[in-house]
Amino acid sequence: MRIAEPTVERLVQYIRFLERCRESGKRVVSSQEIGDALGIKASQVRKDLSYFGEIGKRGVGYNVEKLYQHLNSIFAPPKTWKIAMIGVGNLGEALLGYKAFESEKFRIVALFDIDPNKIGRKIHGIHCYDVEEMSKVLNEEGVEVLIITTPASAAQDVVDRATSSAPIKGILNFAPTALVVPEHVILYNVDIFIELEKLLFYIKLKERGGNI
C-alpha cells in the first residue's frame, strides 16, 4: 500500500500524541482532541485513521491503547532497527543528545568519524569508530540504516563504501548534497533550510492574500 508522505508525517504525530495520552493515563480520545492538540482538522484525523480499518466508534472516540498499538504496528515491525551515524560533529552530537533517539524501535549502535579526537571514544554512550572500520563494524552489528551527518564533500564516498560492503536498507541524509544510492536502498533527505524556505514562502503568500 502506497501512503502519501504527508499522511505518514501525520501518523507519526498521532503516535507521539497517543504516547503522551498513555503516559498521562488517558484511556479514550476523540478525533477532535487529537486534531486540536496537533493543529489538524478532526475530519482529516478521522479520514487518516479510517484508512487503516475502522478502529474507532462514532461518538465514542478511540481507545488510546488500541489505536496506539494499531498505528505502531503499521510503522515498526517487531524488531529494533540498528542505526549507525557517520560524521559526529555539531549536528551529529546534537541529534545524539535528542531524547527521541531513546526508542524501542531503533537504536544507534555505532558512530563513525575521521577525527582522531573522537575515534575510540564514547559519545553519548555510543562507541565512535574510525570510518575505515565501517564495513567490518556495520556487518558485525547488523546495521541496516545510516544517518549521514558528514560534510557534503564526504557524504557520497562514505555512502558508497557502506552500501557496497554492508546490507544497508535506508539512509537518512542530512548532508546538503544529492546522493546516489543503489536501487535497493531508500534515501531520505532532511534539510532544515528547505523547510525554513518553505515556511517563509508560505508566510509571504499569506501576507499577499494567496497571490505570488
Ligand X SMILES: NC(=O)c1ccc[n+]([C@@H]2O[C@H](COP(=O)([O-])OP(=O)(O)OC[C@H]3O[C@@H](n4cnc5c(N)ncnc54)[C@H](O)[C@@H]3O)[C@@H](O)[C@H]2O)c1
33 vs 160, which CB is nearer to ligand X? 160
Does 92 interact with ligand X (rule: CB under 6 A)? yes
Site for ligand X in 29-88 (CB under 6 A): 86-88
Cβ count within 10 A of residue 92: 25
**Residue ranges in the chain assigned as alpha helix (H):** 5-23, 31-38, 42-50, 64-75, 90-96, 134-141, 152-165, 192-207
Among 104, 115, 132, 133, binds ligand X (CB under 6 A): 115
145, β-bridge pairs: 83, 170
DSSP 3-state of 130: strand
Q: Cα separation of 92 and 160, whole Å?
A: 20
φ, ψ of residue 19 in degrees (nearest 5): -60, -45
> Do you know the residue count of the chain?
212
Site for ligand X in 137-156 (CB under 6 A): 149-152, 154
Shortest Å, Cβ 48 to ligand X? 27
Tell me if 125 is assigned to a ligand binding site: no
Each residue 157-186 as x (binds ligand X by CB under 6 A) or -, in order, gives -x---------------xxx----------
Q: Which residues bind ligand X (CB under 6 A)?
A: 86-92, 112-115, 131, 149-152, 154, 158, 174-176, 190-192
Q: Which residues are annotated as a binding site for NAD(+)?
A: 87-92
Q: Which residues are annotated as a binding site?
A: 87-92
